């Protein structure tokens, strides 16, 4: 492999479009680092394994068994030492990261690299407005102390509407690695070419995202969804629709079972360029697709579970506040409005 000039930390599927953009532009001079086995498996299908590093997950330390705690502390120390040895050799590289929330090994790796390289950070999503600062519980406080002692990382404790804690990197951490903000964006033309080259999709017009999470979390009303999906699929040639689930085991509901399904390991945010319309609920793919220029419909209003109206508001804020300027997601409130939106897409008609 040629000398590395670009290092990319891709810790979630949200980072894939920019990651692939950089890889395709700079080819063999790029090194990719991830902590996700799924992302590692996906990227090694298209790029040499020598260019991709998979970090092993750290072990939990909050156990009642002191022997297990000591064992895990030792394993984590070895993982930390491996990262330092592995990355100390890289100098004068541009390092790209999208890190926001808890990912200690990635943050530690950035700290190691920051002494001899330039760190560029891109904010992929806004979500702090959905959380409130929360004084950490004793358990979370211990985790924060451990992260500071082991990796020299600083966090701020937040809490969401689900009352679950989330640790977000503090400004002190970003300053400590001399981070620079970057405006780098996914190259849509390049990604379209990548998609056409690597993902063979039989001619479809509509990408329908899985309803499983929305149904099971009571975000949408299941009986109402049954009426809608059965009516829609029956009134529209099902050959126009492709269903996309996130992972194996996600249940398919009602007429979803009659639709052509795209492979589970194909990320939706790399497939969307081949469709005229993306239909979903609260997935990040919706604002990603809208920002990329696709027509997008969310069914949150149409199929909402009235008992969970606060959750509907929460999810609508999440997907709408992450839209670029002049981009939009449509929210039909009736079946008639939905049909009109579908029919407004050129050469796409459900009648």
180: Cα within 13 Å, side-chain hemisphere: 11
Q: Which CATH number goes with the domain that contains 49?
A: 3.40.50
Specify if 167 maps to a domain. Answer: yes
Once rounded to an integer, what is the mean pLDDT over residues 87-107? 90
Domain housing 304: 188-343
| pLDDT recorded at residue 237 | 65
| pLDDT recorded at residue 133 | 79
Residues 159 and 38 in one domain: yes
Residues 10 and 140 in one domain: yes
Residues 75 and 29 in one domain: yes
| Average model confidence (pLDDT) across the chain | 88
Residues 91 and 202 in one domain: no
Residues 205 and 174 in one domain: no
Specify if 227 maps to a domain. Answer: yes
Residues 6+ apart with CB under 8 A from 215: 222, 225, 251, 253
Specify if 350 maps to a domain. Answer: no
State both tokens at 112. 């190691």
* Spatial CA neighbour of 116 closest among 35, 173, 178: 178
Q: What is the pLDDT of residues 192-241, one digit of tens each?
A: 999 989 988 877 889 999 999 988 888 899 999 999 998 888 766 677 89
| Residue 197 · residue 231 · CB < 8 Å | no
Task: Name the domain boundary from 121, 148, 181.
Answer: 181
Residues 316 and 168 in one domain: no
Residues 207 and 88 in one domain: no
| pLDDT recorded at residue 343 | 84
Q: What is the pLDDT of residues 116-127, one digit of tens each?
A: 999 999 988 877
| pLDDT recorded at residue 351 | 42
| Residue 266 · residue 242 · CB < 8 Å | no
Specify if 1 maps to a domain. Answer: no
| pLDDT recorded at residue 37 | 93
Q: From residue 161, how far is each of 70, 128, 129, 144 by CA, in Å?
A: 34, 12, 11, 22
Number of domains observed in the structure of the chain: 2
Residues 220 and 144 in one domain: no
Task: Name the domain boundary from 126, 148, 181.
Answer: 181
Specify if 19 maps to a domain. Answer: yes
Question: Rounded to two decimals, what is the model's pTM?
Answer: 0.89
Specify if 349 maps to a domain. Answer: no
| Measured distance CA(77)–CA(74) in Å, rounded | 5
Residues 16 and 143 in one domain: yes
Specify if 351 maps to a domain. Answer: no
Instruction: State the distance between the two ends of the chain, measured CA to CA, in whole angstroms.
Output: 55
Residues 89 and 229 in one domain: no
Q: Supply the DSSP symbol for 53.
A: E
Sheet of 132-133, strand order: 132-133, 155-159, 165-169
Angle at 113 between CA 108 and CA 115, to 5 degrees: 110
- 339 phi/psi in degrees, rounded to 5: -60, -40
Task: Name the domain boundary from 121, 154, 181.
Answer: 181
Buried-state track 79-100, b at ≥16 Cβ within 10 A, e below 16 = bbeebeeebeebeebbbbbbbb
Residues 230 and 119 in one domain: no
Q: How confident is the model at residue 2 (pLDDT cuts 50, 70, 90)?
A: low
Specify if 302 maps to a domain. Answer: yes
Residue 345 Ramachandran class (φ > 0 left, ψ -120 to 50 alpha, else beta): beta
Residues 30 and 153 in one domain: yes
| pLDDT recorded at residue 91 | 95
């Amino acid at each position: 492999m040629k000398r590395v000039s670009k290092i990319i930390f891709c810790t979630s599927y949200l980072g894939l479009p920019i990651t692939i953009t950089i890889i395709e532009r700079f080819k063999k001079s790029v090194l990719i680092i991830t902590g996700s086995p799924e992302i590692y498996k996906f990227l090694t299908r298209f790029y040499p394994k020598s260019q991709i590093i998979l970090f092993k997950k750290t072990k939990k330390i909050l156990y009642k068994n002191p022997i297990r705690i000591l064992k895990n502390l030792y394993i984590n120390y070895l993982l930390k030492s491996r990262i330092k040895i592995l990355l100390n050799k890289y100098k004068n590289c541009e390092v790209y990261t999208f890190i926001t929330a808890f990912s200690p090994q990635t943050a530690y790796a950035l700290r190691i690299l920051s002494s001899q390289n330039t760190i560029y950070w891109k904010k992929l999503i806004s979500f702090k407005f959905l959380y409130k600062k929360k004084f950490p519980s004793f358990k979370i406080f211990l985790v924060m102390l451990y992260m500071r002692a082991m990796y020299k990382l600083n966090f701020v404790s937040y809490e969401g509407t689900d009352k679950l804690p989330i640790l977000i990197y503090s400004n002190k951490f970003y300053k400590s690695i001399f981070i620079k903000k970057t405006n780098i964006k996914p190259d849509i033309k390049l990604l379209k070419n990548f998609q056409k080259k690597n993902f063979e999709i039989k001619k479809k017009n509509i990408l329908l995202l899985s309803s499983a999470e929305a149904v099971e979390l009571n975000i949408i009303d299941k009986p109402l969804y049954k009426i809608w999906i059965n009516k829609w699929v029956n009134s529209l040639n099902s050959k126009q629709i492709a269903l996309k689930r996130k992972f194996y085991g996600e249940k398919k509901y009602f007429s979803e079972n009659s639709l052509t399904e795209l492979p589970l390991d194909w990320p939706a945010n790399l497939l969307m360029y081949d469709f005229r319309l993306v239909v979903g609920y609260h997935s990040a793919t919706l604002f990603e697709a809208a920002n990329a220029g696709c027509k997008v419909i969310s069914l949150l209003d149409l199929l909402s579970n009235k008992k969970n109206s606060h959750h509907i508001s929460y999810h609508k804020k999440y997907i709408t506040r992450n839209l670029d300027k002049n981009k939009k997601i449509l929210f039909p409130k009736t079946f008639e409005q939905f049909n009109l939106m579908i029919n407004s897409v050129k050469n796409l008609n459900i009648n």
